[in-house]
Amino acid sequence: MSLKDILMPFKAWGNVFKEPVTLKDVKREGAPRYRGFHKNDVATCIGCGTCEAICENEAIVMVPVEGIETKNGDSGLRPMVDYGRCCWCGLCVDVCTTNSLSLSNEYIWTTNDPEEFRFIPGVVDKPWNNSEKGWTKPGPNFSYYGKERVPMPELKPDERDKSFIEIVRGYSKEQAMKEADRCVECGICVATCPAHMGIPEYIKAIRNDDLNEGLRILYDTNPLPEICGRICTHKCETVCSVGHQGDPLSIRWLKRYIADQQPAENYKKILETEKITKNGKRIAIVGSGPSGLSAAHYLAQMGYECVVFEKLPKPGGMMRYGIPEYRLPYDALDKDIDYIKSLGVEIRCNVTIGKDITLEELHSQYDAIFVGTGLHLGRSTRIPGTDHPNVYQAVDLLRDVTMGKDIPATESIVVIGGGNVAMDITRTLARIQNQRYGKVNIITTSLESEKEMPADHEEIIEAREERATIIPGWGPVRIEIENNKIKGLHVVKCTSVFDENRRFNPKFDESQTNFFAGDMIVESIGQGMDISYLSESIKENLKFNERGRILVNEYFQSSLEWLFVGGDIIQGPDVIHGIANGHKAANGIDKFLSEKA
């Protein structure tokens, strides 16, 4: 080594005392696909946080932004980038579920304030915000996760249209794991779920093939996974982040997969509920629908003795007596209910509150009462002819099917309604027609256009596959009756159902009329509550809103502190809201009795 080599490092120290030079005016444009500073279309971004999760340098943090509100499908957060940490790898762009995030090809930026190198792209005005060059996903079909959902195996129309065998067959292990692998674990779905289920966690349990853990996660917030895995309204799927660039995740079917794989006899061991210490307090629960069963489950886990009173012969409420068996088979329903009974919950059927025993009597015998009696009464259009004996309510017919009664299904039927109950009775009667007459002749009509119909789109498709005729966009005017026999339904064209404020205010074009022939009419335009079991003295001490519903607090506690009310008569109607209500009410009852002690 020469003397020059030895002295060279010491010579470099002379630069410490020199003024640094920054070249601010040099402009060397990056390549068209160069990965420079971030851009974000904040209007398209949903704040899912997949960019934050994938960044190994922790250069991205999700933060609230003024003017962007949290709502279903949008966390209200937006990514803030720290360029002291960013390595411009572009992974955040590649995993973006909405394609809102990209990188400009701008890489030169000078400032004397280091804090400016931490900013929220798309919110802070930057000169490259409108640049079209830079790094985006490699192509329209590029994705780290599958864009198409794994199809659910189902019976074909000609295999199902004469029977009540369950249509949906369920995922195999391979199908479930493939579908679960599409989840990006963003959690956007959790906020939309009324029960706030741990959706990303139980889907992760499927990927890990740990179904015991999956079941424990389900039962944290939902004690009816077999039921909910079949008939949940799955609003979570409508906000699924991967659905922005492909099919939303099959969250409902993955929930069902976990529940289906577990034998009921293993539940108590898996869920570690073999030893529950009783606290000596008793709770009466009126109604064995989803809210009542949910409340009973969580209260039993807390050590309360729960007795459920059910008016009908078997437990389940509208789940058993309002949903056809081809959608919810009784063995799946009973599996969930039997586990709740195994916790010590007693269910007394064929007991009518207000007749066999009053609420006042229950109050004298129990420490608190939860009421979740559902919506068992049908609503009528009240058009001329609805008083004819061959005009029926959908809820009554569906209940009679479950009870094994002979159903008066004629050769030609008209159903009025556009919701899921209307589809349920349409498809039920179509099956009975097919069994009796070897053909289907049923027309279902609704005020709403097909796009506005409240029924699940898949229900409408499957009804048509089973040869039912769905004709939306018509309003009933009168039922034609000749010689005391129904001939059909006169209708008029409905031009709009809601006004500009989304209030129900249908408008019609009287010049457009139609006639739907049929010798039996079924109304399915909504359901009402029967609270005749409330005595006048109890009603006097309750508060009601303008819609006639009992007012409750966040724990579903009424103005009578010992009376809690939930389910469809408070919020809904759907199973998952009922489950969430029951859970919150159970916590409220525990809080009330703990404070009272």
pLDDT in tens, 354-391: 999 999 999 999 999 999 998 889 999 999 999 999 99
Burial string for 246-259 (b: 16+ CB within 10 Å, else e) reads bbbbbbbbbbbbbb
362 in Cβ contact with 294 (< 8 Å): no
Other C-beta atoms closer than 10 Å to the C-beta of 577 total 21
**DSSP β-bridge partners for residue 307:** 284, 346
- For the segment 22-47, what is each residue's pLDDT rounded down to a tens digit? 666 666 788 899 999 999 999 999 99
Sign of CA dihedral 489, 493, 498, 504: negative
pTM here is 0.90
- For the segment 196-237, what is each residue's pLDDT rounded down to a tens digit? 999 999 999 999 999 999 999 999 999 999 999 999 999 999
CATH code for residues 22-135: 3.30.70.3270
Confidence of residue 18 (pLDDT cuts 50, 70, 90): confident
98 in Cβ contact with 56 (< 8 Å): no
Q: Where are the domains of the chain?
A: 22-135, 157-269, 276-375+530-596, 377-527
* pLDDT of residue 588 exceeding 70: yes
Helix H or strand E segment including 148: none
What kind of fold does domain 157-269 have according to CATH? Answer: Fumarate Reductase Iron-sulfur Protein; Chain B, domain 2 (1.10.1060)
146 in Cβ contact with 246 (< 8 Å): yes
Question: 22-135 with 157-269: one CATH topology?
Answer: no
Helical ranges in 438-527 per DSSP H: 457-465
Q: Which residue in this structure is represented by tokens 């030609």?
A: 412
The alpha carbon of residue 230 and the mean position of all alpha carbons in its chain are separated, in whole angstroms, by: 12
CATH 3.50.50.60 fits 276-375+530-596, yes or no: yes
CATH code for residues 377-527: 3.50.50.60
- For the segment 229-257, what is each residue's pLDDT rounded down to a tens digit? 999 999 999 999 999 999 999 999 999 99
Q: Three-class SS string for 350-393?
A: CCCECCCECHHHHHHHCCEEEECCCCCEECCCCCCCCCCCCEEE
- For the segment 267-326, what is each residue's pLDDT rounded down to a tens digit? 888 988 777 889 999 999 999 999 999 999 999 999 999 999 999 999 999 999 999 999
- DSSP 8-state assignment for residue 15: G
Sign of CA dihedral 345, 348, 352, 357: negative
Angle of helix 420-437 relative to helix 457-465, nearest 10 degrees, comes to 10
**Looking at this protein, which amino acid is placed at residue 452?**
E
- For the segment 532-587, what is each residue's pLDDT rounded down to a tens digit? 899 999 999 999 988 888 999 999 999 999 999 999 999 878 899 999 999 999 99
**DSSP β-bridge partners for residue 494:** 508
207 in Cβ contact with 285 (< 8 Å): no
Helix H or strand E segment including 203: helix 199-207
* pLDDT of residue 172 exceeding 90: yes
